Structure 1
Amino acid sequence: MKENKIKNAEKIIDLNEVFSEKIPRELLHIYEKEYIKKIARCNRFLSAADSVKKDAMRIDAKSVNVGSVVNYSSKLWKKLGAEMQGSIGKETKKFVSCITPDGAELNMKAFDACDRLAVIVDKTGAVSTMIIDRLRRYALGSGYDVVSCICSLDGKTVEHIIVPELSFGAFSSEHYHRILPKKERRVFASRFHTKDSELYKNRINFSLKAYRSLMNEAFDSLIGAQAEERKINYIFDSIVDVYDAVTEIIESI
């Protein structure tokens, strides 16, 4: 009995050695802290980028001819030949884009079912959000279900819409969301602006440059966070090896 106890004690000592040698706890804490720091840094830059972009949109909206926006939206909706359904449509909100270490990625497959796609090329979103919001209201008011694609930066703004029953979509195209010419109808936001737009041109361009710079910093932060995550995962993979070693020791007792 005494000999068995001694052997078991020796096994316990070996078990402690396995954990201390193969799991670098201090490194794990360092990597976790760095990961949290980089994610927090990314969030700060994204928040700043969103603020700058909204400022550019607000300035750009000052020179928008709202009457032209209303007329265009109304004519575009009428061309779809959508009949009144006698009810109110249902709105579904979803994300078709996301912020990644590789940049702002867009899932264009979401628009594959759109035989007709209206693309509004708008660097600030001041015009495109107005047009898309009106089309969204027309569709819902006429009884058609609408898929509203939400901005991944602020989680609120409707950037694009899809009306499945009409095989129609409206897409806001800007620096991070671009679409290749195919079956869409393209219109440029500049046609909806008055001559006053020249007064704000330099300020808007400066804001957009700052916006892209802030976004790039956010992407870099995510790249750093991804690197830290790989280090953490490597350590956790070693933990699996430790438990395999522990299992062998337990089975040998």
Structure 2
Amino acid sequence: MENDKKSVDFFLGAVGPGGFRGYFEQLGAEPGIQLYLIKSGPGCGKSTMMRRIAQKAGDPVERIHCSSDPDSLDGVILPRPFAAVLDATAPHTLDPAYPGAAEEVVSLYHTMDTKRLKANRAEIIALFRRCKCLQGRAARYISSAAELLADSRRTAAGAADMEKARAYANRLALRYLPRRGGEGRESIRLLSAVTPQGHKVFRDTIPALADTLVVFHDEYGACSSLLMETLRRLGLERGYHVVTCPCPLSEGKIDHLFLPELRLAFLTSNSWHPMEFPDQKNIHCTRFEAKDRLRCRKKRLRFNRRAAADLLAQASAMQCEAKASHDELEAFYGAAVDFSAVDAAAAALNAKLGL
């Protein structure tokens, strides 16, 4: 997937243990942002429109990818003007909370030949239902994997000195997060997700946002989760913009943090997303563990990891099947769209964005 020095790549939603979990509403709550919500059908030019906006923008942008098809965009975030253009259709359906003031709807429904779509009504409905069913199966596989990984995390936590880990996080903050004036703010992004391409991690985003990398090596996530939560809190208290990257497989667990003003990142490395970059500072979380207390549970932890890997592979397989059905939907809609009208709507949006 292409990347360049002007752009960073994230997800803003993914299929997780409870189904699709998105952070689009949190994006809309970021101070001063203007949202442009695109409404249309699959294969009607939304992703192409957003990709062209990213290419036209003179400033660095964030490209928000679709976890069901990482080669497709769900959004693009521009720093000047501070605005986001988003795919506002299912599964991340968005409607304006403050119409006109904070959001504008960009409807492309007028570009579709509804007579042609109605002629294929039965096939279209069946494909939408099949996609939803397959994504539901993927979520169940992910939920089962998440339970196993949570069991491993609880097991590791029982063998860890959490007070020692918390004290270490405070020392890291003294070193890397000098106090400053102003109020901190938080952005929520996903650096990884379970996708039809497997467990996808946007590694190129890391050096695009940070020069200083502090990497916590933690296979089970018990200590790194505490370290991340402490550093997140302290970063906000000390007035920084903190980009928080939650774990897509565990509610409330943080995998990574970026502090763009400091060109600093705190990262978690494990077998799911190993982190290997030049000059990174490595912190092995085994320093907080009582190794003898984990040794007797190694077979259980190894089983959990292997079984979770198999379950996540099945989840990706279900997403591949869902994508194949979605591709069929795109063929129906693409054949019923007037793309010259889409281009005209895109030109009008570009004008509003000053592109």
Q: TM-score, normalised by structure 2?
A: 0.56
Contact 2:268 2:275 survives alignment (8 Å): no
* Residues in 1 aligned to 2:163 and 2:189: alpha-carbon distance in whole angstroms: 30
Structure 1 position 98 matched with structure 2 position 187: no
* Residues in 2 aligned to 1:86 and 1:231: alpha-carbon distance in whole angstroms: 53
Q: Which amino acid aligns with 2:229?
A: D
* Residues in 1 aligned to 2:334 and 2:258: alpha-carbon distance in whole angstroms: 43
CA separation of 1:83/1:51 partners in 2, compared to 1, >3 Å: closer, same or farther? Answer: same
Cα deviation code 1:16-65 (max 9, x no counterpart): xx97xxx5655444433332221111111122222221121111110012
Q: SS of the counterpart of 1:196?
A: helix
Q: Which residue of 2 aligns with 1:171?
A: 267
* Residues in 1 aligned to 2:124 and 2:178: alpha-carbon distance in whole angstroms: 61
* Residues in 2 aligned to 1:232 and 1:161: alpha-carbon distance in whole angstroms: 37
Contact 1:60 1:200 survives alignment (8 Å): no
Q: SS of the counterpart of 1:104?
A: strand
Give the structure with the higher percent strand.
Answer: 2
Structure 1 position 75 matched with structure 2 position 171: yes
Query: Where in structure 2 are the equivalents of 1:64-143 lying within 5 Å?
Result: 64-80=160-176, 82-85=177-180, 88-112=183-207, 113-143=209-239
* Residues in 2 aligned to 1:62 and 1:43: alpha-carbon distance in whole angstroms: 28
Q: Which residue of 2 aligns with 1:190?
A: 286
Which sits farther off after the overlay, 129-138 or 84-93? 84-93
Structure 1 position 159 matched with structure 2 position 255: yes
CA separation of 1:33/1:143 partners in 2, compared to 1, >3 Å: closer, same or farther? Answer: closer
* Residues in 2 aligned to 1:144 and 1:232: alpha-carbon distance in whole angstroms: 44
Q: SS of the counterpart of 2:214?
A: strand
Contact 1:120 1:189 survives alignment (8 Å): yes
Q: Which amino acid aligns with 2:240?
A: Y
Q: SS of the counterpart of 1:182?
A: coil
Shift of residue 68 of structure 1?
Answer: 3.1
Structure 1 position 55 matched with structure 2 position 172: no
Cα deviation code 1:198-252 (max 9, x no counterpart): 12222111112121111111000001111111222233345569xxxxxxxxxxx
Q: Which residue of 1 aligns with 2:137?
A: 41
Residue segments in structure 2 that go unaligned for 5+ positions in a row: 1-114, 339-355
Query: Where in structure 2 are the equivalents of 1:218-233 lying within 5 Å?
Result: 218-233=315-330
Q: Which amino acid aligns with 2:213?
A: L
CA separation of 1:30/1:189 partners in 2, compared to 1, >3 Å: closer, same or farther? Answer: same
Contact 2:139 2:315 survives alignment (8 Å): yes
Q: Which amino acid aligns with 2:281?
A: R
Contact 1:91 1:148 survives alignment (8 Å): yes
Q: Which residue of 1 aligns with 2:308?
A: 211
Q: Which amino acid aligns with 1:122?
A: D
CA separation of 1:233/1:191 partners in 2, compared to 1, >3 Å: closer, same or farther? Answer: same
Which sits farther off after the overlay, 211-220 or 165-174? 165-174
The alignment yields a C-alpha RMSD, in angstroms, of 2.7
The higher radius of gyration belongs to 1
Contact 1:50 1:154 survives alignment (8 Å): yes
Q: Which residue of 1 aligns with 2:65?
A: none
Q: Which residue of 2 aligns with 1:201?
A: 298
Q: TM-score, normalised by structure 1?
A: 0.77
Residue segments in structure 1 that go unaligned for 5+ positions in a row: 1-17, 242-253
* Residues in 2 aligned to 1:231 and 1:90: alpha-carbon distance in whole angstroms: 42
Contact 1:115 1:183 survives alignment (8 Å): no
Report percent identity of matched pairs. 24
* Residues in 1 aligned to 2:156 and 2:127: alpha-carbon distance in whole angstroms: 43
Give the structure with the higher percent helix.
Answer: 1
CA separation of 1:164/1:28 partners in 2, compared to 1, >3 Å: closer, same or farther? Answer: closer
Aligned positions, number:
222
